[in-house]
Amino acid sequence: MDITSFISTHRKLLALGFVLLILIFLATFPLYGNEYYINLLTTILMYTVLAVSWAMFSGATGYMSLATAAFFGIGIMATAFLEGTLPSPVIIVIGGLLSAALAFLIGLVTLRLKGIYFTIFTFGFVMFISQTAYYIDSHILGNAWGHELPLPDPGMLHYTMLGLVVVTLLAIYFIRRSRYGLVLLSIGGNEEAAEHMGINTTKMKVILFTISSAFMGAAGAIYAPALVHVEARIAFNVFNSFVPILMAIFGGMGQFYGPVIGAAVFGYLDRTLRVELAEYFMLVFGIMLVVVIMFLPNGITGLIQSLQKTRPIAKLLHRGKEEQHANT
Amino acid sequence: MRILEGQGVTKNFGGLAAVSHVDFHIDQGEIVGLIGPNGAGKTTLFNLTSGALPLSSGEITFKGQKLNGLKPHRVCKIGIGRTFQEIKIFGNMPVIQNVLVGAFFGSPNRISAADAAREASQALEFVGLSAMAGDSIQDLTLANQKRVEVARALATRPELLLLDELMAGLNPAEVSEAMELVTKIRDKGITIFMVEHVMKAIMGICERIMVLHHGEKIAEGTPREIAANKKVIEIYLGEETHAGS
């Protein structure tokens, strides 16, 4: 058995092994890595949750939500207010549930809107919640200087976020493979036809939008201590609505792992470019996005797939398969 | 037995009555054709039946159950399947998955993944597209995309199937194949209500034909009666026979 046919027959096993290697790396990194890189990885993990959750709903259905920053921010504010009063796992769950509750309400009101109107509403909502939360927090509750959170232990923060990533990826992987994955895709493919095939599209959109935002809220609750100083306008920074979209498009939404790749690349750039270019890092983001959309409309995963179809090695792989069929 | 019945069915779009006081019925096991010039209200009548549009007045009943106010997903689950005049396929999925959507969600009860998969591949086989199950639906010809729509509707296990211009845009050979398919579906025990412009098809396979004009029903009868009906010839078949034959 040569190497190419080995790859083609044990694809799933190899993929699983690869995922395991990455997990082992992530799980052991705090033991030998320095603090800067631990924090960098934590940031990437946080973005992974946002990008994958966003892509699960918006990528599949085509309902482009810009409300990610609102759900993420709710989680951050939950920690800001509850830190020290409750055990942190409880706070994380509360952050997720509050975001889900908010998403449920937004979904009920707006998921009847089609296309651009939904997107505009969700964008406006982030603006609204950012200003309102700032006003309430500083003027009514008297936290004019925001909230100081105790410095987190980088390792602890990293492991908590890694736990959330595992939970999120597993949940979304199974949702995508289940009948609900088909619901999401059919809504994106042709919502009217989906409705006529017996799918209560309004109900399904609200439920799945709610689920996806629970992960975002939990990510915010975990990440909050990394900000150290929290105030509403930081927590609800609209930047956090756009970055996951960049990541998902860059990685490619056709494959489950696309947004993960996007999160890794952009998460890394986000941290390093912020240090080196300060305010100009957004410029680099923008240029990269334009280039990707122009030349790689299906993202990195789309590129990989089209390479697999044309490259000689793919032909070899294919031949290996055919021989196998002939043998059986 | 009457499977579908409409009384005083009316739909107004602003001041325009797209469908106006139409009484109609479909018997179980029939193939009924619905014809009329463009803008006569044929597709609107389908949309009213499938729940895509709410009625302005009147009522439609399916096996005695009132359809008024039911959403399309409810109408589908109680046993009415449909296809669309302008095809509405799921372009982001392979052929078999398009059909799988119907199989999964079309029945009133939750069905297992294995049953849904079986249902979908049977429906696809029924329309003769098993060989293309894994293909991207975008790569299929229009005739085959329409067949996928039929398979998708069949996978929802309908008792009544609404076919909205299944033959439009097909070449003569494809029209004959589509006619065979329609008869085959009826032989399976599914009642058919079809909108069609292709006269050869409608005259060839329908047992009864209804004619709509400006939203009103102006004639009803066997193909022979309709072909001989003066009013119909005047407004509709007159032009068509010149153009067609």
**pLDDT of B130-142, one tens digit each?**
999 999 999 999 9
The SS3 assignment for B14 reads coil
Record: contact A198-B82, CB cut-off 8 A: no
User: How close is the nearest chain A Cα to the Cα of B11, in Å?
Assistant: 20
> Rounded to an integer, what distance in angstroms lies between the CA atom of residue A256 and that of residue A3?
26
Residue A65: other Cβ atoms inside 10 A: 30
Do residue B35 and residue B59 come from a single domain? yes
pLDDT category at B227 given cuts 50, 70, 90 is confident
Tell me: the pLDDT tens digits for B13-67? Answer: 988 889 999 999 999 999 999 998 888 999 999 999 999 999 999 999 999 999 9
Q: Using CB atoms within 10 A of its CB, is residue A4 exposed (0-12), middle (13-18) or buried (19+)?
A: middle
Q: Which of A177, A196, A203, A253 to mutate to test the interface with B (most CBs of B within 10 A)?
A: A196
Do residue B125 and residue B144 come from a single domain? yes
Give the strand order in the sheet containing B80-82.
B80-82, B160-164, B191-195, B31-35, B208-213, B216-221
How many residues in chain B?
245
Contacts of A286 (CB under 8 A, 6+ apart): none
The number of distinct structural domains making up chain B is 2
In the predicted structure, residue B235 carries a pLDDT above the cut 90: no
Residue B84 lies inside a defined structural domain of this protein: no
Hunting for tokens 């058995």 — which residue is that? A1
Residue B244 lies inside a defined structural domain of this protein: no
Residue B140: alpha-carbon gap to chain centroid: 21
pLDDT of residue A311: 55
Do residue B19 and residue B75 come from a single domain? yes
Do residue B150 and residue B173 come from a single domain? no
We report the CATH number of the domain holding residue B23 as 3.40.50.300
> Rounded to an integer, what distance in angstroms lies between the CA atom of residue B116 and that of residue B105?
9
pLDDT category at A293 given cuts 50, 70, 90 is confident
| The token pair that represents A18 in the structure block | 């690869």
Out of B72, B92, B100, the one facing A196 most closely (by C-beta) is B72
Tell me the residue range of the domain where B124 lies.
90-157
Give ipTM to 2 decimals: 0.90
Which A positions 187-246 lie with beta carbon below 8 A of chain B? 188-190, 192-201
In the predicted structure, residue B127 carries a pLDDT above the cut 70: yes
Is A306's Cβ below 8 Å from some Cβ in B? Answer: no
Do residue B68 and residue B183 come from a single domain? yes
Is B244's Cβ below 8 Å from some Cβ in A? Answer: no
Out of B77, B90, B106, the one facing A189 most closely (by C-beta) is B90
Mean pLDDT of B192-198: 92
pLDDT category at B207 given cuts 50, 70, 90 is very high
Mean pLDDT of A59-76: 94
Domain boundary among B119, B134, B157: B157
Do residue B198 and residue B213 come from a single domain? yes
State which residue of chain B sits closest to A194, comparing Cα positions.
B101
Mean pLDDT across chain A: 87
Do residue B59 and residue B111 come from a single domain? no
Q: Exposure string (b/e) for B74-101, b if CB count within 10 Å is 16 or more? A: bbbbbbbbbbbeebbbbebbbbbbbbbb
Residues of chain B contacting A196 with CB distance shorter than 8 Å: 50, 52, 72-73, 75-76, 82, 88
State which residue of chain A sits closest to B155, comparing Cα positions.
A197
**Residue pair A271/A169 in contact by the 8 Å Cβ criterion:** no
Among candidate residues B160, B167, B151, the one with its CA nearest the CA of residue B50: B160
In the predicted structure, residue A313 carries a pLDDT above the cut 70: no
pLDDT of residue B163: 95
In the predicted structure, residue B237 carries a pLDDT above the cut 80: no
Record: contact A190-B91, CB cut-off 8 A: yes
Do residue B152 and residue B163 come from a single domain? no
Domain boundary among B137, B157, B177: B157
Residue B147 lies inside a defined structural domain of this protein: yes
Residue B25 lies inside a defined structural domain of this protein: yes
Domain boundary among B157, B190, B205: B157
Q: Exposure string (b/e) for B152-161, b if CB count within 10 Å is 16 or more? A: bbbbbbbbbb
In the predicted structure, residue A312 carries a pLDDT above the cut 60: no
Do residue B131 and residue B167 come from a single domain? no
pLDDT category at A315 given cuts 50, 70, 90 is low
pLDDT category at B76 given cuts 50, 70, 90 is very high
